[in-house]
Chain A
Amino acid sequence: MLRFLLRRSVSTLLVLLVLSAVVFLLFYATPGDPAILACGKGCDGERLAVVRHKLGTDLPLWQQYWHFLQGLVAGRDYDAGTDVTHCAAPCFGYSFQTDQPVLGMITSRLPVDVSLTLGAMVIWLVVGVGTGVLSALRRGGITERLLTGLTLAGMSTPVFLIGLLLMMLCCSWLGWLPFPQYVPFGDDPAAWASNLVLPWLSLALITAAAYARMTRSSMLETLAEDHIRTGRAYGLSERRVVTGHALRGALTPVITLLAIDVGGMLGGATLTESVFGFDGLGRLLVDSVNHIDLPVVVGVTLFAAFFIVLANAVADVLYAVADPRVALA
Chain B
Amino acid sequence: MSETATVSRPAAEATEPRRRGQVWRRLRRNRAALAALGVIALLVLFALAAPLLAGLEGQDPTTFHNDLVDSATGGVPFGSFGGAGAHHWLGVEPGNGRDVFARLAYGARVSLAVAVGATVVQIALGTLIGLAAGLGNRLADTVLSRAMDLVIAFPELVFAIALMAIVPDGFPRPVLLALVIGVLGWGSPARVVRAQVLSLRGLDYVSAARLGGSGRWRIARREILPGLAGPVITFALLRLPVNVASEAGLSFLGVGVRPPTPSWGQMLSTATTWYEVDPAYVLLPAGLLFVTVLAFTVFGDGLRTALDPRAASRLRVGTRRRAKD
Q: Chain A: residues with CB nearer than 8 A to chain B?
A: 15, 18, 23, 26-27, 29-31, 149, 152-153, 155-161, 164-165, 167-168, 172, 203, 206-207, 210, 213-214, 217-218, 220-221, 253, 256-257, 260-261, 264-265, 267-272, 274-275, 282, 285-286, 289-290, 292, 297, 300-301, 304-305, 308-309, 312
Q: Is the CB of A164 within 8 A of B271?
A: yes
Interface residues of B in 136-150 (CB under 8 A from A): 150
The minimal Cβ–Cβ distance linking B305 to chain A, given in whole angstroms, is 11
Binary contact track B282-302/A, C-beta < 8 Å → 1, others 0: 100010011001100110010
Q: Does B86 contact A (CB under 8 A)?
A: no
Q: Is the CB of B163 within 8 A of A156?
A: no
The minimal Cβ–Cβ distance linking A306 to chain B, given in whole angstroms, is 10
Complex CA gap A213/B305 in Å reads: 14
Complex CA gap A160/B249 in Å reads: 8
The minimal Cβ–Cβ distance linking A196 to chain B, given in whole angstroms, is 15
Complex CA gap A172/B278 in Å reads: 11
Residue of B nearest to A218 (CB): B314
A-B residue pairs, 3 tightest by C-beta: A156-B293, A156-B294, A304-B155
Q: Is the CB of B168 within 8 A of A31?
A: yes
Complex CA gap A162/B245 in Å reads: 12
Best-surrounded residue of A158, A168, A269 (most CB of chain B within 10 A)? A158
Complex CA gap A292/B165 in Å reads: 8
- Total interface residues on B, CB under 8 Å, equals 45
Q: Is the CB of A268 within 8 A of B324?
A: no
Q: Is the CB of B153 within 8 A of A268?
A: no
Q: Does B241 contact A (CB under 8 A)?
A: yes
Complex CA gap A160/B320 in Å reads: 18
Q: Is the CB of B275 within 8 A of A164?
A: yes
Complex CA gap A221/B315 in Å reads: 12
- Chain A residues near B286 (CB, 8 Å)? 161, 164-165
- Residue contacts A-B, CB under 8 angstroms, 29 given: A15-B150, A15-B153, A26-B162, A27-B166, A152-B301, A156-B290, A156-B293, A156-B297, A157-B293, A158-B248, A158-B293, A161-B290, A164-B268, A261-B325, A270-B253, A271-B253, A274-B253, A285-B158, A285-B161, A286-B161, A286-B255, A289-B162, A292-B165, A301-B155, A301-B162, A304-B158, A305-B153, A305-B154, A312-B153
Q: Is the CB of B313 within 8 A of A305?
A: no
Q: Is the CB of B253 within 8 A of A269?
A: no
Complex CA gap A15/B286 in Å reads: 38
The minimal Cβ–Cβ distance linking B270 to chain A, given in whole angstroms, is 11
Q: Is the CB of A165 within 8 A of B282?
A: yes
- Chain B residues near A164 (CB, 8 Å)? 268, 271-272, 275, 282, 286
Q: Does B44 contact A (CB under 8 A)?
A: no
- Chain B residues near A18 (CB, 8 Å)? 150
The minimal Cβ–Cβ distance linking A219 to chain B, given in whole angstroms, is 10
Q: Chain B: residues with CB nearer than 8 A to chain A?
A: 32, 150, 153-155, 157-159, 161-163, 165-166, 168, 241, 245, 248-249, 252-255, 268, 271-272, 275-276, 279, 282, 286, 289-290, 293-294, 297-298, 301, 313-315, 317, 320-321, 324-325
Complex CA gap A153/B157 in Å reads: 22
Take A31-B168, A159-B324 as given contacts and tell me if A213 and B315 are in contact as well, using a CB distance cutoff of 8 Å: yes
Best-surrounded residue of B150, B166, B301 (most CB of chain A within 10 A)? B166
Complex CA gap A30/B32 in Å reads: 47
Q: Is the CB of A256 within 8 A of B317?
A: yes
Complex CA gap A253/B316 in Å reads: 10
Q: Is the CB of A203 within 8 A of B325?
A: yes
Complex CA gap A268/B315 in Å reads: 26
- Chain B residues near A217 (CB, 8 Å)? 313-315
- Chain B residues near A304 (CB, 8 Å)? 155, 158
The minimal Cβ–Cβ distance linking B220 to chain A, given in whole angstroms, is 30
- Chain A residues near B161 (CB, 8 Å)? 270, 285-286, 289
- Chain A residues near B297 (CB, 8 Å)? 152, 155-156
Complex CA gap A286/B255 in Å reads: 9
- Chain B residues near A300 (CB, 8 Å)? 158
- Chain A residues near B162 (CB, 8 Å)? 23, 26-27, 289, 297, 301
Given A164-B275, A267-B158, 13 extra CB contacts under 8 A? A27-B162, A29-B166, A31-B168, A157-B293, A159-B324, A256-B317, A269-B325, A271-B249, A274-B252, A290-B165, A308-B153, A308-B154, A312-B153
User: Pick the contact of B32 from A149, A207, A213, A220 — CB < 8 Å?
Assistant: A149
Residue of B nearest to A272 (CB): B325
User: Pick the contact of B315 from A203, A214, A261, A297 — CB < 8 Å?
Assistant: A214
Take A158-B324, A275-B272, A312-B153 as given contacts and tell me if A152 and B313 are in contact as well, using a CB distance cutoff of 8 Å: no
